[in-house]
Structure 1
Amino acid sequence: MANILVVDDEMGIRELLSEILGDEGHVVQLAENAQQARAARIESRPDLVLLDIWMPDTDGVTLLKEWQRDGMLTMPVIMMSGHATIDTAVEATRIGALNFLEKPIALQKLLKAVQQGLSRGNDVVRPALPSLPATVAETHVNNVLAHSFSASSAAYESRSFAAVAVPAPATNNQFANLSFELPLREARDAFERIYFEYHLHREGGSMTRVAEKTGLERTHLYRKLKQLGVESVKYAKRGE
């Protein structure tokens, strides 16, 4: 279990990352801007920071540079952005960013990046590299971005989860109780709720297998379960 700080001005992304990392057993703190991130960095000394690049007031690269300047960049930092440029990536890498995640963030990429970051948590954080030739830095960043932004999921290991408490599978009676008098949207939500509860029970709570069965990417599956009110079901690793 690790203490992870998520810094992003978008509430939906903060909540989604908090839910996913919380299900992984981590303690998650949230900050919506640089001011809150500074306070959280001092108070909790996080083991890892997920830092959005584009934020109002103070952007993520500026905050990263500030932490490096003040000797507070003692933890791995993973940058997040939906439109990072090579120049921005080079600058963040020189300052000390460990990795980049492209939005929307695929679950497998998130979990692998977090695992890699935590495994390097005890390493001495790199200082800024002002003397590093630009061509070398750009080559390094291009390699990082190519790895981080890869759309292929074959490079990532699948991970299974078991449900602590999974609703009973849907029965014919449950479907029979669906009222045709409901507005279409409410009826659809009711059906989808039963549908996902059925697959969660059938697959023993494995989010990987439910995603495969339903044809959803796991990040989208998390969002759908939350939207339907199924987010109260908590998942834990096997053996815990």
Structure 2
Amino acid sequence: MANILVVDDEMGIRELLSEILGDEGHVVTAAENAQQAREFRHGGVPDLVLLDIWMPDTDGVTLLKEWQRDGLLTMPVIMMSGHATIDTAVEATRIGALNFLEKPIALQKLLKAVQQGLSQGPKTARAPTLYPQPAAASGESNDTVVTAGVFNNPASSEAAHITTMPSVAVASESLFSSSFGLPLREARDAFERAYFEYHLIRESGSMTRVAEKTGLERTHLYRKLKQLGVDPGKLSKKGG
């Protein structure tokens, strides 16, 4: 488990990265601008920073320069952007960035870059730090995401499968018998909802394994669950 700071002015990007990395077992803190990122960095040293380049107040490259100037660039930093030029990426690397990811970020590239960054380790030894989340701006939800590492235990997953599958099977039979009287679209949504709930319970809430089982990309899977009103967190408790 690592403490990762995600800095991006787009709420959707912060939420998506937080969900993916949280599901991988990391503690994720999100900052929506450079000022919040500064506050987090002065409060502790994250194990890794994912830093967007284009932000409204202070861009990521400028923030990276500040940290280097003030001796605060003691953690791996991965830059992100959907509009940066090669020159910008080269400059960020020269300053001290470890890697550069182009948006939209492919899942495997993200996980590989994060693993590579964490393997670098800090320049100075220190204990893991948890970060306080700043008050959310008016109209915006809090972006703090807690770890989901408990779902990575194969033994507990198998036990969950044994104890929960009979009830799921009964529910599925009831679903089919009650869905034939619905309009096609509603019946299809009911089936898809039961289908994903089945796999979430069986896999103890692991979005990685559910994505593999259902053949969907993680990004598509998150959007589908949100569309169907399925809460992976609640179902993971049933599976655990």
After TM superposition, the score normalised by the length of structure 2 is 0.71
Indicate conservation of the 8 Å contact 1:16/1:223, yes or no: no
Q: Contact (CA 8 Å) 1:78, 1:97: kept in 2 or not?
A: yes
Partner Cα distance (1:219, 1:30) in 2: 18
Q: Which amino acid aligns with 1:48?
A: L
Identity, in percent, stands at 77
1:72-104: CA deviation from partner (whole Å, max 9, x where unpaired): 111000011122210110110111110112222
In 2 relative to 1, CA 72–194 (structure 1 residues): closer, same or farther, beyond 3 Å?
same
Task: Give the superposition deviation at 1:38.
Answer: 0.5
Q: Match for 2:48: what amino acid?
A: L
**Partner of 2:56: helix, strand, or coil?**
coil
Tell me if 1:118 matches 2:118.
yes
Opposite residue 217 of structure 1, the aligned amino acid is: E
Between Structure 1 and Structure 2, which shows a larger proportion of helix residues?
A: 2
SS in 1 for 2:216: coil
Q: Deviations along 1:22-66, whole A, 9 cap, x unmatched?
A: 122211111000011100111132111000111112111111111
Counterpart residue number, 2:149: none
Separation (CA, whole Å) in 2 of partners of 1:204 and 1:36: 34
Question: In the alignment, which residue of structure 1 is the partner of 2:72?
Answer: 72
- Aligned residue in 2 for 1:7: 7
Q: Distance in 1 between matches of 2:11 and 2:188?
A: 26
Contact 1:193 1:230 (C-alpha < 8 Å) held by counterparts? no
- Aligned length, in residue pairs: 201
Aligned partners of 1:79, 1:117: CA distance in 2, in Å?
11
**Structure-1 separation of matches of 2:44 and 2:111:** 22
Give the distance between the partners of 2:12 and 2:114, measured in 1 at CA: 19
What is the 5 A alignment of 1:46-85? 46-85=46-85
SS of the aligned residue for 1:116 comes to: helix
Moved more, 197-206 or 216-225: 197-206
The residue aligned with 2:176 is 175
Match of 1:198 in 2: 198
Q: Is the 8 A contact 2:34 2:59 kept in 1?
A: yes
Rounded to whole Å, the distance in 2 between the matches of 1:118 and 1:193 is 36
1:173–1:234 CA distance, 2 compared to 1 (3 A): closer
Determine if contact 2:34/2:63 at 8 Å carries over to the other structure.
yes
Residue 232 of structure 1 corresponds to which residue in structure 2?
233
CA distance in structure 2 between the aligned counterparts of 1:112 and 1:70, rounded to whole angstroms: 29
Higher relative contact order (CA 8 A, sep 6+): 2
Please give the TM-score of this superposition, normalised by the length of structure 1: 0.71
Q: Which amino acid aligns with 1:175?
A: F
* Residues 40 and 203 of structure 1, relative CA distance in 2, 3 Å threshold: closer
Tell me which amino acid in the other structure corresponds to 1:178: S
Q: 1:214, CA displacement in angstroms?
A: 3.1
For 2:212 and 2:28, locate their aligned partners in 1 and report how far apart those are by CA, in whole Å. Answer: 28
Gaps of 5+ in 1: 125-159, 236-240
Per mean C-alpha deviation after superposition, the further-off stretch among 70-79 and 205-214 is 205-214
> Is the CA contact 1:8–1:55 (under 8 Å) kept in the aligned structure 2?
yes
